[in-house]
Amino acid sequence: MTGGERRQLTGIAGPTTERPPFSFSAATRVAFSDTDAQGIVYYGRYAPYFDMARVEYWRHLGFAAHDDVARGEFVMRAFEITYNAPAAFDDVLEVFCRVAKVGRTSIVFEFDVVLAGDGSDKHLASATQTMVNVDLDARRPEPIDDRVRALVDAFEAMG
């Protein structure tokens, strides 16, 4: 896909085979409010890009953003980001997302962000998020529902 074609994908999310082993991507454009005084994306603003891709991934699997009854109550356990290159105001970013591992009570998401608007596919950042399924009242981990596990496994196997 060329940079011009990707420019039209801003705000679009769905399955991809473009960047193995990633199975899903979501595109967004850098807002002015995401940038710092130097005109580049402030490092803390990458977290919402990863969160947006993860929410779109769940939505693609058929779960609404607040559909915790069906998919569980996932809370952040660990979040690691590596920065490689800056993004700037109005850049088009493609955030690639995949589930790397489904454990008994946790799920590990991996992400890559690339500059998509200019056709360079310049790698900007990578991240890993570990989410734990919890019973919020008991504040204890609980097993991931077999239906969720089956949907994730089937989707990831297609990639």
Active site residue ranges: 36
Using an 8 Å Cβ cutoff, are 62 and 123 in contact?
no
Percent with pLDDT over 70 in the chain: 87
pTM for the model stands at: 0.88
Q: Which of 120, 130, 32 is nearest to 84 (CA)?
A: 120
Helix (H) or strand (E) holding 148: helix 146-158
**Per-residue pLDDT tens for 115-135?**
997 778 899 999 999 999 998
CATH of domain 3-158: 3.10.129.10
Question: In the chain, where are the structural domains located?
Answer: 3-158
Q: pLDDT band for position 136 (50/70/90)?
A: confident
**Per-residue pLDDT tens for 63-98?**
865 655 556 789 999 999 999 999 999 999 999 999
Q: Which of 22, 23, 10, 147 is nearest to 90 (CA)?
A: 10
Using an 8 Å Cβ cutoff, are 114 and 122 in contact?
yes
Neighbours of 107 (CB within 10 A): 23
